[in-house]
Amino acid sequence: MNMKRKLLVLTAGLALAGFSSFASAQEIYIPLISKGFQHQFWVAVKQGADQAAKDLNVKVTFEGPETEQQVDKQIDMLSAALAKNPKAIGFAALDSKAAIPLLKKAQAAKIPVIAFDSGVDSDIPLTTATTNNVAAAGLAADKMAALIGNEGEVAVIAHDQTSRTGVDRRDGFVNQIKAKYPKIKVVDIQYGGDQLKSAEIAKTLIQAHPKLKGIFATNEPGAIGAGKGLKEAKKTGLTLIGYDSGKAQKDMIADGTIAGSITQNPVGIGYKTVEAAVKALKGEKLPKIIDTGFYYYDKSNMADPKIAAVLYD
C-alpha cells in the first residue's frame, strides 16, 4: 500500500472513530417528564436540568402538561418518551400510583428511572431528587404556631391529594401541629391547584371560619391565589404561609400579605436529576433520596445571599 493510500485509510479510520464517539455521546438522551410549566418553579427546575446536560454532555428534553390536574396527559407524555428508547428518564409524578405500569416497562427495558420533586409509590426509581417535604411543611407549622401565639384555628390549601408532594406537605403540616401544638386546631383542608381556585377557597375559608387565624398553602399558585383571595375579601390580621417562590409571592411577602414561605432549591432539583441519571448509567450506586434542601424566608432574610440563591422569579 503506498503512503498516500495509507494516509487516506488512516484518516478515514480516525474520522470513523471520531464519529462513533460523537454518536455515542449523542445517544445519551434523557427525557424529563415534569408536572408542567405552569409556574416559575418548573422553569427553574428546567434551568438546572439544562445546565447539568451541558456540564455532563448529554441530551435532555423537558416537558409536562399545561396543568397539574392533567394526569392522563402526563402519562401519555411518559409513554411517548419511553417509546424513543432513552438511556434514562426523569419523572415527577402527578399521581404517585398511575404511572407504575409504565415505569415497570422502563424497568423491564433496563431504562433507569430517576424521580424528581414528587416520587411514586414504588421502588422502581433508583433515587428521588426532592425536598424533604414532610420536614419543610413541619417547619411551616412551627413558623405558623409562633406567629399566631401557639393557639387558634388554621386551615390548609393543598395543591392535590394524589402526588407525593401534595400528600407530604399536607400531612407534614397537619401532623406537626397535632404533635406539638395542642391549642391549635386544623379546622379545614381544601384542595386548590391553581391561583383562581385557591383564591376562591381562601374567601370561602374566612367566611366559614370567622375565628380563622392562619392558612398554609402548599405550593406557589396556592399561596399567590390565597393572597389574592385575602386581598379581594379585604381580610387583614390572618397569617398566610406559602411554599415556593416566584415574583408574585415575593411581592406579597414584601407587602405583608404573606407572612413567609418555604423555598425549595428547584435549580438543584433539576441538576441533581440529570446528574443522578448519568451516574446510574455509569453503574454508580445512588441513595434512595437526594435531599436538595429547603429554607423558610420572609421579609427579614429574603436578601440573605444563601436564601436569595434559591429564590426565583
Nearest to 201 by CA among 177, 173, 232: 232
- Calculate the dihedral angle through the C-alpha atoms of 107, 93, 78, 45, rounding to the nearest 10 degrees: -110
Assigned CATH topology for domain 29-131+266-293: Rossmann fold (3.40.50)
What contacts 309, CB < 8 A, 6 or more positions away? none
Backbone region of residue 278 per phi and psi (left: phi > 0; alpha: psi in -120 to 50; beta: other values): alpha
Nearest to 1 by CA among 245, 10, 223: 10
Assigned CATH topology for domain 133-263: Rossmann fold (3.40.50)
* pTM, entire model: 0.85
- Check residue 37 and give its pLDDT: 81
Fold match between domain 29-131+266-293 and domain 133-263: yes
Determine how β-strand 260-263 pairs with β-strand 239-243.
Answer: parallel
- Cell numbers describing residue 18: 471520531
- Check residue 26 and give its pLDDT: 53
CA distances from 291 to 151, 197, 246, 285 (A): 32, 31, 21, 16
Q: In this predicted model, which residue has the larger pLDDT, 200 or 7? A: 200
Q: List the domain boundaries for the chain.
A: 29-131+266-293, 133-263
Q: What are the pLDDT digits (tens) for 135-176?
A: 999 999 999 999 999 999 999 999 999 999 999 999 999 999
Q: What are the pLDDT digits (tens) for 205-216?
A: 999 999 999 999
Q: Is the pLDDT of residue 50 over 70?
A: yes
